[in-house]
Amino acid sequence: MRPQIVIRYVGFVLLFNALFLFLSAILSGINMDSALFPLLYSAVVTALLGVFPIIFVPGPDYIHNQEGLYIVVSGWLLSCLVGALPYIMWGGPFTFTNAWFESVSGFTTTGSSIISDIEVLPVGLLFWRATTHWIGGIGIIVFMLAVLPATGHAAMVLSKSEISSLAVENFRYRTRKTLHILLVVYLGLTVLESIGLLLAGMNLFDAVTHAFATIATGGFSTRNLNVAAFDNALIELIIMVFMILSGIHFALIFLAMTEQAKRLWNSSIVQYYLVSMGAGILLVAINIHGRVYEGWLAAFRYAAFQVISLGTSTGFATADTAIWPGFAMLVLIFFTLQCACAGSTSGGIKADRMLIFWKSFVSQFRKLRHPKAVISIRLDDTVIEPPVIEAGLLYIALYLIVVFISTLVLAFMGIDALSAFSGSAAAMGNVGPGFGTVSSLANFSLLPAAAKWVLSIVMLLGRLEIFGLLMFVFHRFIR
Amino acid sequence: MKIRSKILLGFLILATMLALAGAYSIFEFRLIGTSVQNLLDDNYRSITAAKTMIEALEREDSGLLLMLSGKWKEGRETIRSADGAFRGALETAGNNLTIDGELNYVNAIRNRYKTYARLWDRPVDGADQQGKLKWYLTEVHPRFMNVKTAVQSLMDLNDDAMYDTASVLKNRAHRAIMPGIIAILSALAFTIVFNFFINIYVVNPIISLKRAIDHFMETNEPVRVTVETRDEIHELAASVSDLTSMARISR
């Protein structure tokens, strides 16, 4: 492995971050707020650190897969680190631990926050906070590759390391075309939602920051009461529509927009994703009707928003789910674990793997009845090969093991079981809010510092789909 | 880019990070100095004035009680000196309006004090001890408390402002220190990377070149050293290769 090549590409990532830090600093300068220097200084330091390796190290002809992995993981870790700089410098509630947590939560699009009073933050810092979602949503390396011209073979290796393995299977295009699709859909959805929210009554700043958070399935709001602060059904409806869209494989959205709309509806994964979410909304609405909300309309309104928000791993909130009945909480926890489709900005186990899991379950059941039968598992017209099924099931098992270990560690620190489990599941799925002390309208500020570090590691594990980070850490031991 | 430029760039980056951190720290420390001065000038002066007023009020109250107990002259003297002190402190507070709404507080004190002071002109006379006590409890004491409460409010207002300023100072101190810490840590990381690059792209090729030349001298085999960069080392390797080729021909 050539560390200098890794450093060179991480330099690009840093420059990319510096660009957005500069944009936030400009916004801060226009508002003359207290985040101007923290953002500007962070941008300059990040740019200086990023530009040097690019100048010093000549561009390579090729990149090994292992180097690609190191570039992706180092890129993520360093992005989180430089992303924390403006918070650390600004001060207030941001200790190093809190700043790191907020930054990791932003870049991994988790949306968990340690800030009790979001509205006192200066505009520039709020914008940077939303921007970390937006950069992280599509994947910082993918974003960088899509924007940078002529990265050639490097683009292929890096995008393979960055994009979910399931999504790579589904993108049947050349790398450059795949990156182009991702960028077009991502930008298109962001612009459309911003316009929609603007027309629905939000101001420009709120519209853009909420669009950033929605399309990235992040969940950072600019208000203490999150989306509930707007108390506007139209705004909620627009956000719900875009949360659902952001949870669908971007290639399918691209196809639906450009040529084959039916491909979207014929996809068994999309069907499963939408049907499961519809069932979840129905169950939660029935459960909270009469107990929390008197009318059916209110029950469906709040059930739909909360289920879609957690089921797409966004984490926006319009209601305090901590006071909802246990059954509704459990349904929401299921969606916190499952989340949306691969190839989207969503986290979690993903609907694709869940569908493979259910189909494997049915297939196993059939095999018990007909031991000699050869039963293949299909998704649409494609037969899923046994190694893909094994990898999917192994991922689900590992995912749950990580959630369980994280829950144990948090519980050991004295955090109650519900908060520990739901917080861990929400961090692993990059969802954001859990239940108990870390519920939708609360925050993570009361957790001990060690718990915040544990959760930030879990967020990174979830975002890099476990294997990426594990291979990076244990590379020297696993040969 | 040539090695000289690359090394210069490296040092320039280090210098820029440290210079920016230093400049911002100086800027913030200057603001801290100004804030401390403002804290003393604005809030502390008003708080001292409020304390003087409360002390003067207490003395006036004692003076009034002396008068009621028959020590007329001594009481008058006490009230007169305390009144001077109170009015002086009130003027200081009135000239030191630095917080939004502070004027309302000062005006409230002035008005309430006027009402209170009017009582001393005609302290109850000729009444028995019980009558004097009743007059004190129903007329004097409530007005005394009114003024005292108003002065206390002014003091609280300035106390709160002082606390806010102290919080701002704490934040400023944090912001003055953090760029320095970040610059030092970044410079440290940068130095490690810089040193690594110098090793990879300058030192290692030179060592390879030296070994190749030694090998050439022993075996007369041509010198071939691959240098990735297009800088002086690359030119040196090419020149050495040409030189050894020529030397081989001449042999």
Mean pLDDT of chain B: 85
Element containing residue A384 per DSSP (H, E): strand A382-384
Contact check, Cβ <8 Å, A45/B17: yes
Name the pTM for this structure.
0.83
Residues B93 and B78 reside in one and the same domain: yes
What pLDDT sits at residue B35?
Answer: 75
Helices (H), A339-478: 351-369, 386-412, 417-428, 449-463, 467-474
Q: Which residues, including other chains, have CB under 8 Å from residue A113's CB and lie 6 or more apart?
A: A102, A105, A220, A443, A444, A445
Give the strand pairing for A382-384 and A377-379. Answer: antiparallel
- Residues B239 and B140 both lie in one domain: no
DSSP secondary structure letter of residue A435: S
Same domain, B194 and B172: no
Nearest to A49 among B20, B171, B190 (CB): B190
Select the highest-mean-pLDDT range: A371-375, A446-450, B1-5, B45-49. A446-450
CA gap A110, A127 in Å, rounded: 16
- Ramachandran sector of residue B217 (left: φ over 0; alpha: ψ -120 to 50; beta: rest): alpha
CA distance A120 to A102: 16
* d(C-alpha B29, C-alpha B133), whole Å: 58
Beta carbons within 10 angstroms of residue A380's beta carbon:
10
pLDDT for the residue B251 = 64
Q: Name the residue with tokens 């989180």.
A: A80
- As for how many domains chain B has, the answer is 2
Q: Over range A242-265, report the average pLDDT.
A: 85
Q: Which residues of A touch B (CB under 8 A)?
A: 3-4, 7, 37-38, 41-42, 44-45, 48-49, 51-53, 55-58, 85, 88-92
- Cβ distance A88 to B175 less than 8 Å, yes or no, reads no
pLDDT at B187: 87
Q: Which of A3, A51, A88 sits opposite B178 (nearest CB)?
A: A88
Residues B64 and B99 in one domain: yes
- Chain A residues near residue B20 by CB distance under 8 angstroms: 41, 44-45
Q: Do B179 and A41 touch (CB under 8 A)?
A: yes
- Cα of A269 to nearest chain B Cα, Å: 46
Nearest neighbour of B24 by CB, restricted to A37, A57, A85: A37
Of the residues B155, B185, B215, which one is the last residue of a structural domain?
B185
Residues on chain A touching B17 (C-beta within 8 angstroms)? 44-45, 48
Do B126 and B209 belong to one domain?
no
In this predicted structure, what is the pLDDT of residue A146? 63
Answer whether A91 sits within 8 Å of B175, measured CB to CB.
yes
For residue B184, the Cα-to-chain-centroid distance in whole angstroms is 21
> Percentage of residues in chain B with pLDDT exceeding 90?
21
**Tens-place pLDDT, residues A334-352:** 999 988 888 888 888 989 8
Same domain, B176 and B197: no
Structural domain boundaries in chain A: 1-162, 363-474
What's the gap in Å between the CA of A467 and the closest CA on chain B?
27
Query: Among partner residues B171, B190, B228, which is closest to A58 by beta-carbon distance?
Result: B228
Q: Which amino acid is at A204?
A: L
User: Which CATH number fits the domain that encloses residue B101?
Assistant: 1.20.120.1730
Shortest CB distance from A52 goes to which of B10, B24, B230? B10
Contacts of B186 (CB under 8 A, 6+ apart): A45, A49, B17
* Confidence class for position B128, pLDDT limits 50, 70, 90: confident
Asked whether the beta carbons of residue A85 and residue B183 sit closer than 8 angstroms, the reply is no
Domain containing B220 equals 188-250
- Which of A60-74, A432-446, B78-92 has the weakest average pLDDT? A60-74
pLDDT score at A157? 65
Measured at the alpha carbon of residue B44, what is the angle toward residues B40 and B46, in degrees to the nearest 5? 130
Shortest CA gap B20–chain A (Å): 8
Taking an 8 Å cut-off on Cβ atoms, the answer to whether A53 and B193 are in contact is yes
Q: Which of B99, B101, B85, B103 is nearest to B48 (CA)?
A: B85
Do residue B48 and residue B100 come from a single domain? yes
Residues in chain A: 479
Q: Which of A21-25, A283-287, B63-67 has the lowest mean pLDDT?
A: B63-67
Q: Of the candidates B185, B214, B237, which is a domain's last residue?
A: B185
B168 and B215 within one domain: no
ipTM of the complex: 0.78
Cβ contact B16–A48 (<8 Å):
yes
Which residue numbers of B have CB closer than 8 Å to A's CBs?
1, 6, 9-10, 13, 16-17, 20-21, 24, 171, 174-175, 178-179, 182-183, 186, 189-190, 193-194, 196-197, 200-201, 228-230
Residue-wise pLDDT tens digits, B135-151: 888 888 899 999 999 99
CB contact under 8 A, A44 and B20: yes
Give A38's contacts in chain B (Cβ within 8 Å): 175, 178
pLDDT of residue A144: 65
Chosen from B175, B191, B194, B196 to mutate, greatest number of chain A CBs within 10 A: B175
- Cα–Cα distance list, A115 to A82, A120, A446 (Å): 19, 10, 10
Is the pLDDT at A40 greater than 90, yes or no? yes
DSSP string, A26-81: HHHHHHT-TTHHHHHHHHHHHHHHHHHHHHHSPPPS---HHHHHHHHHHHHHHHHH
Within this chain, do residues B120 and B204 fall inside the same structural domain, yes or no? no
Cβ separation of B17 and A58 shorter than 8 Å? no
Whether B165 and B147 share a structural domain: yes
Residue B162: burial class (beta carbons within 10 Å; 0-12, 13-18, 19+): middle
Choose, out of B5, B174, B185, the residue to mutate when testing the contact with A (most A CBs < 10 Å). Answer: B174
* Contact yes or no for A158/A39 (Cβ under 8 A): no
Q: Least CB-CB distance to A91: which of B9, B171, B229?
A: B171
DSSP state of B138: I
The tokens describing A13, both together, are 């990532």
Nearest to A143 by CA among A314, A10, A13: A13
Which candidate from B171, B186, B200 shows the least CB-CB separation from A45?
A: B186
Q: Which residue of B has its CA nearest to A44?
A: B17
Question: Measured between CA atoms, how close is A110 to chain B, in angstroms?
Answer: 26
Nearest to A52 among B13, B24, B230 (CB): B13
Query: Sign of torsion, CA A40 A41 A42 A47?
Result: positive
- Provide the shortest C-alpha distance from residue B178 to chain A (in Å): 6
Same domain for B88 and B208, yes or no, is no
Collect all residues with Cβ–Cβ distance below 8 Å to A301 and sequence separation of at least 6.
Answer: A233, A236, A318
Contact B175 A89 (CB under 8 A): yes
Residue A150 has pLDDT above 60, yes or no: no
Nearest beta carbon to residue A4 from set B179, B183, B197: B197
Residues B234 and B216 placed together within one structural domain of the fold: yes
Interchain CB contacts (distance < 8 Å): A and B? 68
Question: What is the per-residue pLDDT across A171-206, written as a single tens digit (0 to 9) for each?
Answer: 556 667 777 888 888 999 999 999 999 999 999 999
Q: Assign A411 a pLDDT band (cuts: 50, 70, 90).
A: very high
